[in-house]
Amino acid sequence: MKRGVLSLAVLAALSGCSLIPEYERPAPPVPLNWSEGVEQGMEQTPLVGWRGFFKDPQLQHLIGLALENNRDLRVAALNVQANRALYDIQGAERYPQLDANGSGTRTRMPQDLSGGEQRSINSQYSATLGLSWELDLFGRIGSLREQALQTFLASDEARRGVQISLVAEVASTYLTLQADQALLDVTAETLKTYEDSYALTKRSNEVGVASSLELAQARTAVESARAVLARYQRQVAQDRNALTVLVGQPWSVTAGNPLLLDEPVLAALPVGLSSEVLYNRPDVLQAEYQLLAVNASIGAAKAAFFPRISLTGAAGTASNELSGLFGSGSEYWTFSPSISVPIFRAGALKASLDYAEISRNQQVARYEGVIQSAFREVADGLQARQTYVDQVAARRALLEASEEYFRLADRRYNIGVDSYLTLLDAQRQLFEARQSVIADRLSQLLSEISLYKALGGGDFAETRATQAANTEG
């Protein structure tokens, strides 16, 4: 009795063994900071959630709709559920498998085979409860379960990456729509100015004041503006279509007037960030979970070299009559433990281990590549931040100068000091300056959104809390 208890204790201890190599996070192949002006160990300001970063109520409304209805995000969420199911399936392998079976057979034997003078009919009925269990002495099942767990976690980070990308894409498309609409309005105003100028020049030409050259120049400006107007009308329509696809349903904004592009539509991002923030990016976490999954597969490959012990048993009743199936003396049981020891596999087990180790080295390289790409995205965004501030400021100064140039040229033309060509040049320069201010301001905002996304998209605690509540419900 004591020997049996001791044997069970030994088996229980052995069942906790694992051959998974100890995991060490690869050293980041990037500097600790993005610039020398950032001190190491400084206090990091956390990123705000998307509701705090995007201040436009209409944009917040559209992002909320997209998070509920976007099909790509829905597919990513279903992929997480699928990997969770696979993890549960693999986890079930740790426990004994219990099955209940019932069967009945009736066999009619010919007289020639029965050996008797009459034909015989044989009956057999059984009800069985079967048990099978593989003892995970060397951690094979545990390694596969760990691999499934890390794959599930990687898929969840992939879903979060899709979520962050969706938020950024909705915001970028929305702001592009606002910018194109502003450009359309500017073009419509400019076209009205050109048409008025053309009508005035045409009347002046009819009375012999304006030349045919000035009339042709005025008409050229009108037709050019009309072409630009058609282009922006097309872009506004395409922006709306793109936003409809991202939101996942027809949308109409009723939250009030949208914030203009020259207003603070985005919250300020923190400065002086350490590269440690990269470890919170979903693509970096996904790559690390994938690396952990491959690392766990090495443990399973190593365990394949060792014996596999299975315990199989069954207990039930059997009778040649259905009425006597559960009668006295019909009980039976079987117990058949088995052990499988690999002896010769023609190098298949060694090749499987080599493949798992090579896969780990490949995943290490992928992981380092993801970190390097993430570092570059953030570094480029930080470098673009100040240069866009200077660029937009210069564009606005140019717009002020162009407005003054147009005002002077218009007055000098009206009093007959300058030619119409000077006024036309001033009109074109003012039109281009107004377009450039809108385009550069949009580029600045899109750059900030890209940086926000590169930093990990902020805290989605609000979204996670809502999803957890829905799951519990």
Q: What is the DSSP string of 217-267?
A: HHHHHHHHHHHHHHHHHHHHHHHHHHHHHHHTS-----SSSPPPTTS--BP
3-state SS, one letter per residue, for 142-188: HHHHHHHHHHHHHHHHHHHHHHHHHHHHHHHHHHHHHHHHHHHHHHH
**Cβ-contact 342, 305 below 8 angstroms:** yes
Fill in the amino acid letter for 302: K
pLDDT at 43: 43
Give the bridge partners for 33, in sequence order: 274
Helices and strands (H, E) in the chain, number of each type: 11, 5
pLDDT at 41: 39
User: What is the topology classification, in CATH, of domain 16-94+137-306+348-472?
Assistant: Outer membrane efflux proteins (OEP) (1.20.1600)
Listed residue (64, 94, 236) closest to 163, CA to CA: 64
Long-range contacts of 104-108 (CB under 8 A, 24+ apart): 104/322
Residue 319: phi and psi, rounded to 5, are: -160, 155
Give the bridge partners for 266, in sequence order: 54
- Tracing tokens 């545990």 back to the chain, one arrives at 142
Residue range(s) of every CATH 2.20.200.10 domain in the chain: 97-135+307-341
Listed residue (99, 63, 258, 60) closest to 177, CA to CA: 258
pLDDT, tens digit only, all 473 positions of the chain: 334 434 443 444 445 578 889 888 888 888 766 654 333 433 455 678 899 999 998 999 999 999 999 989 899 989 999 999 988 888 888 888 888 888 878 777 666 655 555 556 777 878 888 888 888 888 888 888 999 999 999 999 999 999 999 999 999 999 999 999 999 999 999 999 999 989 988 988 888 888 888 889 889 999 999 999 999 999 999 999 999 999 988 888 654 466 677 788 898 887 666 677 788 889 999 999 999 999 999 998 988 888 888 888 888 788 777 776 777 777 878 888 888 888 877 889 899 999 999 999 999 999 999 999 998 888 888 888 889 999 999 999 999 999 999 999 989 988 888 888 888 899 999 999 999 999 999 999 999 999 999 988 766 544 444 444 433 33
Listed residue (2, 448, 24) closest to 267, CA to CA: 448
Listed residue (134, 107, 105) closest to 119, CA to CA: 107
Local structure of residue 268 (DSSP, 8 states)? P
Residue range(s) of every CATH 1.20.1600.10 domain in the chain: 16-94+137-306+348-472
Listed residue (153, 362, 145, 176) closest to 265, CA to CA: 176
**Cβ-contact 352, 304 below 8 angstroms:** yes
pLDDT at 156: 93
Classify 276 as helix, strand or coil.
helix
Q: Rounded CA gap, 455 and 125, in Å?
A: 68
pLDDT at 34: 62
Q: How far is CA 130 from CA 93, 94, 360, in A?
A: 16, 17, 40
Question: May I ask the CATH class of domain 97-135+307-341?
Answer: mainly beta
Listed residue (293, 377, 289) closest to 30, CA to CA: 377
Q: How far is CA 164 from CA 44, 61, 64, 253, in A?
A: 21, 16, 12, 22
